[in-house]
Amino acid sequence: LLGNQPRKRAGSNYTGEEGGLSSSALPPSHERETEEEESIMGFTVVVKRAAKKQINACCSKENLKTKLPITKWLPKYSLQALQCDLIAGLTVGLTVIPQGLAYAKIADLPPQYGLYSAFMGCFVYCFLGTAKDITLGPTAIMSLMTATFATSPIEEDATYAIVLCLITGCVQLLLGLLNLGILVNFISYPVINAFTSAAAITIGFGQVKGILGLTHIPRDFPEMVYETCKKIPETKIWDLVMGLVCLALLYVLKKLRTINWNDDLDGPGPNRCVRFCRYLIWLIGTASNAIVVISASGVAAILISQGKNNTLSITGHLKPGLPDFKPPDFSYTKDNITITASTIFSDIGAGFGIVPLLGLVELIAIGKAFARQNHYKIYPSQELIAIGFANIISCFVGSYPVTGSFSRTAVNSQSGVKTPASGIFTGVLIVLALFTLTPLFYYIPKSALSAVIIFSVIQMVDVMVVKKLWKTNKIDLIPLFITFLSCLGVGMEYGILIGIGVSMIILLYPSARPKIKVEPGGVKVVKLDQGLLFPAVEYLQECVLEANEADGKNNSVVLDCSHVSALDYTAIQGITELIVDFKSREAKLVFAGFPKNVLKHLQVADIPELTVSSTVQEGCKLLQEELTPEFSGVQHIKVEYNSRL
Amino acid sequence: LLGNQPRKRAGSNYTGEEGGLSSSALPPSHERETEEEESIMGFTVVVKRAAKKQINACCSKENLKTKLPITKWLPKYSLQALQCDLIAGLTVGLTVIPQGLAYAKIADLPPQYGLYSAFMGCFVYCFLGTAKDITLGPTAIMSLMTATFATSPIEEDATYAIVLCLITGCVQLLLGLLNLGILVNFISYPVINAFTSAAAITIGFGQVKGILGLTHIPRDFPEMVYETCKKIPETKIWDLVMGLVCLALLYVLKKLRTINWNDDLDGPGPNRCVRFCRYLIWLIGTASNAIVVISASGVAAILISQGKNNTLSITGHLKPGLPDFKPPDFSYTKDNITITASTIFSDIGAGFGIVPLLGLVELIAIGKAFARQNHYKIYPSQELIAIGFANIISCFVGSYPVTGSFSRTAVNSQSGVKTPASGIFTGVLIVLALFTLTPLFYYIPKSALSAVIIFSVIQMVDVMVVKKLWKTNKIDLIPLFITFLSCLGVGMEYGILIGIGVSMIILLYPSARPKIKVEPGGVKVVKLDQGLLFPAVEYLQECVLEANEADGKNNSVVLDCSHVSALDYTAIQGITELIVDFKSREAKLVFAGFPKNVLKHLQVADIPELTVSSTVQEGCKLLQEELTPEFSGVQHIKVEYNSRL
């Protein structure tokens, strides 16, 4: 069940066509026969079968080919595809260079680390990726997560971030190999939405300091707001002007990309020259980040050449060229501070779990959106493997964790990309920039980079979702607001965990609080409607003990378990406790009608004095004959599970 | 549903008798009528009703009385009960003094903080607690959690621990007022079991250094084991001998407590003198910690008086008397290190969520065990309020987080306690000890305290559970081992979170992967068997798209939603995406047979081009007439939910 989809269907994304592959997920007939049994046996069987399939699937030759999707599209690669990929790759490169420099600021790292993070992922994804549109690299959320979990105590030091990148890659690779992409399904839309909005606000407000030219602002959101407001009088007016001009320019240029030319569909199409002009205007819109940053740098360079060195806060010196290709340091000494591996690991802590998962969520969300738009399929497990390898190899060139970028994937798709090969050209462009352009990066005003960030994250805030949820499903507002407020109030890292927890508890609430029905009568029969699993155990105990005490008497009780299809250990413990309770109260408890396979589990548990009957009637008879002579009539207390699950 | 149990039934624990209260949890008749609707409406209605009840319940006079359980038992208090409580309270005091000194070592605090933590909780619980047996105070697990989350960067400084105590109390109080004791139900038995065993091993092994007289051992388990083994050659032989002798003595003395006197039940009972001797022997067993510590201190004092100062590692000077009654410091400077509130809060981080929950779990587990044994009931929400207040007020006297202690609650119960008033006597004894005994505590050998800890935690390790789970429910071994290994490997704080996550995912797995049935035919009908909630959305999409692609054609599909009783926003998003998919594929998707109230949610969502029919037949007809002429026969693809939930 887990393993066969990627194996049978991968590799069809090159042409974007589908067909003839669909019946693979339908189980063969011998599986259908065992289905009824399986629904009773529950999870154990499902897992066993999945594990078996998984092992078989891993060993097939077809599977090994699927794990390297380049083998599917490379043999069919054409000159025309090369041309499309070249244009798309270079266009994405123009976008990623200013973005990378800016995102490194969010991650609290020197700007060149944004570029280090940008190129290796593109190369790796070309070999392992299944979606033609996706481009890997630094993103706003990954940068924020890097700052949250992996800020080194030493300034301008990337060791923590690089270690986080390595472990993120390993965790993602492991999840991919174990086919655990399913984990993403347990994060609901409101939680992701609230997290993204909160991240955008945190990132956006964090760059207000850049626009105002302020320094020494803390990173936690509440303090950040407080300190930024307190320091407003220290605003540097030139930085502010530059920032606002950049924002205005970005707004105008981005509008160029979405111009609707209102062509007459029935008339003759526009001629070549008009089409080229339109393409040029679209390109200017797409490369708006680059244009704004270059213009702002020009202004800064002119100011500096005229001796006005301190008017604008600029980026300053960048290390030119590629970083050394080497594994991450796990312990090192710098500025007289010695940091050991165990310090790094305990400081990053939960980041090793949260960052890989968020990277996956972001990648899958983007991949699914573009797969839908361009009619192909993505395979979560293969994507996990691709992103895992990308992170592992990227960390050798000093990268912090990367994932799929929504804005650049959109540019890639609109530029007419045909295969993941476009990543090669993006990567090469970045490497060239690192070798040749770093002296020019010196002049980039910090406020221009802040403007780029603010403009890009502002689109991530989704206010309309509140209205939609209010109209359609108000209960989903609870995880939305709790996630949003805890992300801003107590930190992004706890916010996402709290949100996932709350949405799971809402999902599981009905299973913890089944409803109770009472029919008038005398013999107490408590009826369970579905599986008895850990969240429901305590409530069942309460119900049964209430039945015991009903009418001010000490009643014996029959528990109707004919619908109990599964039983976990917590439930077995609960049953044992109930039997002890009844013994100490000198009453009797009979478990009636357990299905055979469930009863088997109960019998091997060696519960002392477990009384079982095959039907409720038999159970009642047992009680009336042997134990309690004072019964009069029959009373049913029905424990019914809410049918939401 | 949430609010009425504690309101109607609290306060009956004084006499241990029950009766005449049971019908309160059965809903009145007007609720029964709306039940069917409710099962369809799902969570929203349940929450609304619960909130309304909650507000009503909070405002009643009866409820205010319930929140102060002392008002129930104090008017009936007798001289005989006072005598029993006095004996029990003093016996517990004898146990808690050596335990407190030892547990403070686990928490990485000076020994007096164990005593500071021990007395205020006893006083508060006397007013607010509902269970006569429970005694609050420092416990091994809370001490370990304090060390994990709240170790100050300054040595011997308790500020972090005290702040953690305050926030723990506030969180617990809030959970109690919101009636959220139900949260405990979402932690399954194997997770708690594995966590407890791992904690015991961490604590126990952490004290091996005390027995061996080693210093500078790190706290993370893997490093701790490594460093301890590496430093074995540095063992101080006197400490080792003292530790082993103490362990042996503890073993022998504890045995005294459980002697079975083999009385002839039919013959005359033992006379008064024999009974008194037996009581004395039992008391020696119960006070074994105190006896061992006093004897060891005597040995140390003799050695020191003979000038052998360095043979044994001893506790050293303790601050005598009570600490100042003052609120916790949130920012302070000590040893030239300045610590601000935000540093404390970000360092403790997840501790503010995990510690209150673990405190609650420990308290409820103990409370339930003794309530069962002694025939009374505990009320989780009231217990949360009691422990919340206890922590809040304790932090004013320099306490770290406290909860119910299993060993001392057992002593309390066996000593014949009658009401929570016994806590007063325990508390007074501790205060007296702080004023008068601190000079004597100077001589306590560290290895004796380590022996006390090791002996008490060794009983917490439960190996047999593995065998039980293997026999009864193998799937529960997964959360057990994952929790255990991650607690030891990556730390207690992550271990418990990972364990809860894994057990929830196992619980929810069936809802994320419904099964598929296929019947031969032509028109594609996909059938959903239950509610459509977020974990299942992606899989449903896959199934429907597979139906679209079946037989290598581009089929239109009817989705049979007649059993969908609930729909969350993630599902509505998923449906919208499916409609977009079908539009781009130029096929048609019809949603058939939605129940009216669910359809309402869907209609207000304004999904463009949503096609709905009242029955599957109508849906098929719609497709055949208007859209696709190439149908031949009928094919059913049934999506059936696993019935485990």
Do β-strands B589-592 and B557-560 pair in parallel, antiparallel, or remain unpaired?
parallel
Smallest Cα distance from A174 to chain B, Å:
16
Pairwise CB contact (< 8 Å): B506 & A43: yes
pLDDT (mean) for B585-608: 83
Is A17 an 8 Å CB contact of chain B?
no
Q: What pLDDT is attached to residue B591?
A: 87
Better pLDDT: B209 or A332: B209
pLDDT (mean) for B504-529: 70
Beta bridge partners of A527: A560, A638
Contact (CB, 8 A) for A375 and B581: no
Three-class secondary structure assignment of A594-641: CCHHHHHHHHHCCCCCCEEECCHHHHHHHHHHHHCCCCCCEEEEEEEC
Contact (CB, 8 A) for B540 and B576: no
Q: What pLDDT is attached to residue A180?
A: 84
User: Which runs of E-coded beta strand occur in A273-377?
Assistant: 332-334, 337-339
Q: How far apart are CA A474 and CA A90, in angstroms?
A: 45
| Chain B residue with the nearest C-alpha to that of A471 | B604
Is B353 an 8 Å CB contact of chain A?
yes
Q: What pLDDT is attached to residue A547?
A: 82
Highest mean pLDDT among A542-556, A610-624, B451-465: B451-465
Q: What is the pLDDT of residues A145-171, one digit of tens each?
A: 999 898 888 888 889 999 999 999 999
Positive or negative, the CA dihedral A173, A176, A178, A182 is positive
Task: State pTM to two decimals.
Answer: 0.79
Q: Quick check: A603 pLDDT over 70?
A: yes
Contact (CB, 8 A) for A519 and A638: yes
Pairwise CB contact (< 8 Å): B186 & A505: yes
Pairwise CB contact (< 8 Å): A509 & B572: no
Better pLDDT: B75 or B532: B75
Q: How far apart are CA A572 and CA B472, in angstroms?
A: 8
DSSP A41-86: HTHHHHHHHHHHHHHHHHHSHHHHHHTSTHHHHGGG--HHHHHHHH
CB < 8 Å from B in window 505-534 of A: 505-513, 515-518, 530-531, 533-534
Smallest Cα distance from A526 to chain B, Å:
13
Q: What pLDDT is attached to residue B323?
A: 87
Of A10-14, A161-165, A405-409, B327-331, give the lowest mean pLDDT range.
A10-14
Pairwise CB contact (< 8 Å): B644 & A22: no
Q: What pLDDT is attached to residue A621?
A: 80
Confidence band for B194, pLDDT divided at 50, 70 and 90: very high
pLDDT above 90 covers a percentage of chain B that reads 29
Pairwise CB contact (< 8 Å): B581 & A39: no
Distance of CA A612 to the CA centre of its chain: 47
Q: What pLDDT is attached to residue B145?
A: 93
Pairwise CB contact (< 8 Å): B605 & A468: yes
Pairwise CB contact (< 8 Å): A21 & B584: no
Q: How far apart are CA A138 and CA A158, in angstroms?
A: 14
Q: How far apart are CA B482 and CA B477, in angstroms?
A: 8
The radius of gyration of chain B from alpha carbons, rounded to an integer in Å, stands at 31
Pairwise CB contact (< 8 Å): A185 & B538: yes
Pairwise CB contact (< 8 Å): B531 & A349: no
Contact (CB, 8 A) for A66 and A10: yes
Q: How far apart are CA B564 and CA B641, in angstroms?
A: 11
Q: What pLDDT is attached to residue B55?
A: 67
Q: What is the pLDDT of residues A470-515, one digit of tens each?
A: 888 888 899 999 999 999 988 888 898 899 989 988 888 877 776 6
Residue A536 per-residue DSSP state: G
From chain A, the residues in CB contact with B643 under 8 A are 39-40, 530-531, 565
Helix (H, G, I), strand (E, B) or coil at A129: coil
**Closest CA relative to residue A287, chosen from A440, A407, A167, A110:** A407
| Mutation for testing the A interface, residue in B546, B569, B602, B641 having most A CBs under 10 Å | B569
Could you give the domains of chain B? 4-66 (no CATH), 74-262+269-460 (no CATH), 464-510 (no CATH), 513-640 (3.30.750.24)
Pairwise CB contact (< 8 Å): B518 & A26: yes
CB < 8 Å from A in window 18-37 of B: 18-23, 25-27, 32, 35
Smallest Cα distance from B552 to chain A, Å:
4
| Chain B residue with the nearest C-alpha to that of A598 | B472
Q: What pLDDT is attached to residue B343?
A: 82
> Token pair for residue B464?
């047999």
Of A129-143, A260-274, B344-358, B600-614, give the lowest mean pLDDT range.
A260-274
Contact (CB, 8 A) for A614 and A580: no
Tell me the pLDDT of chain B averaged across its residues: 81
Contact (CB, 8 A) for B429 and B141: no
DSSP B41-78: HTHHHHHHHHHHHHHHHHHSHHHHHHTSTHHHHGGG--
Q: What is the pLDDT of residues B8-40, one digit of tens each?
A: 333 333 333 333 333 333 334 444 334 444 444
Contact (CB, 8 A) for A559 and A590: yes
CA angle B208, B209, B214 (to 5 degrees): 155
Pairwise CB contact (< 8 Å): B644 & A531: yes
Smallest Cα distance from B243 to chain A, Å:
30
> Token pair for residue B394?
């304790």
CB < 8 Å from B in window 56-85 of A: none
Highest mean pLDDT among A41-45, A71-75, A375-379, B146-150: B146-150
Residue A23 per-residue DSSP state: G
Which value does ipTM take for this structure? 0.74
**Closest Cβ–Cβ partner in B473, B547, B602 for A601:** B473
Question: What are the residues whose beta carbons fall under 8 Å from the beta carbon of A187, sequence distance 6 or more?
Answer: A357, A361, A500, A503
Q: What pLDDT is attached to residue A620?
A: 81
Pairwise CB contact (< 8 Å): B509 & A39: no
Is A44 an 8 Å CB contact of chain B?
yes
Q: How far apart are CA A491 and CA A221, in angstroms?
A: 7
Contact (CB, 8 A) for A349 and A479: no
| Chain B residue with the nearest C-alpha to that of A185 | B535
Of A562-566, B204-208, B361-365, B444-448, give the lowest mean pLDDT range.
A562-566
Q: What pLDDT is attached to residue A459?
A: 84
Q: What pLDDT is attached to residue B606?
A: 79
Residue B552 per-residue DSSP state: G
Pairwise CB contact (< 8 Å): B188 & A644: no
Q: What is the dihedral of CA B434, B439, B444, B450, to 10 degrees?
A: 30
Contact (CB, 8 A) for A181 and A381: yes
> Token pair for residue A573?
């413990």
Contact (CB, 8 A) for B2 and B50: yes
Contact (CB, 8 A) for B301 and B312: no
Pairwise CB contact (< 8 Å): A185 & B542: no
Is A12 an 8 Å CB contact of chain B?
no
From chain B, the residues in CB contact with A342 under 8 A are 218, 220, 223
Contact (CB, 8 A) for B628 and B490: no
Do β-strands A634-640 and A515-519 pair in parallel, antiparallel, or remain unpaired?
antiparallel
Q: What is the pLDDT of residues B370-423, one digit of tens each?
A: 888 887 888 888 899 999 999 999 999 999 999 999 889 988 988 889 999 999
From chain A, the residues in CB contact with B506 under 8 A are 43
pLDDT (mean) for A272-291: 86
Q: What pLDDT is attached to residue B584?
A: 83
**Closest CA relative to residue A128, chosen from A427, A425, A419, A429:** A419
| Chain B residue with the nearest C-alpha to that of A2 | B513
Pairwise CB contact (< 8 Å): B474 & A44: yes
Q: How far apart are CA A95 and CA A99, in angstroms?
A: 6
Residue B106 per-residue DSSP state: H
The radius of gyration of chain A from alpha carbons, rounded to an integer in Å, stands at 31
Element (H, E) at B635: strand B634-640
CB < 8 Å from B in window 372-411 of A: 372-373, 375
Q: What pLDDT is attached to residue A55?
A: 67
Contact (CB, 8 A) for B348 and B164: yes
Q: What pLDDT is attached to residue B630?
A: 44
Q: Quick check: A93 pLDDT over 50?
A: yes
Pairwise CB contact (< 8 Å): A534 & B188: yes
| Chain A residue with the nearest C-alpha to that of B18 | A549
Smallest Cα distance from B165 to chain A, Å:
18
Q: What pLDDT is attached to residue A637?
A: 46
Q: What pLDDT is attached to residue B30?
A: 43
Q: What pLDDT is attached to residue A514?
A: 64
**Closest Cβ–Cβ partner in B189, B220, B601 for A472:** B601
Question: What are the residues whose beta carbons fall under 8 Å from the beta carbon of B86, sequence distance 6 or more?
Answer: B422, B425
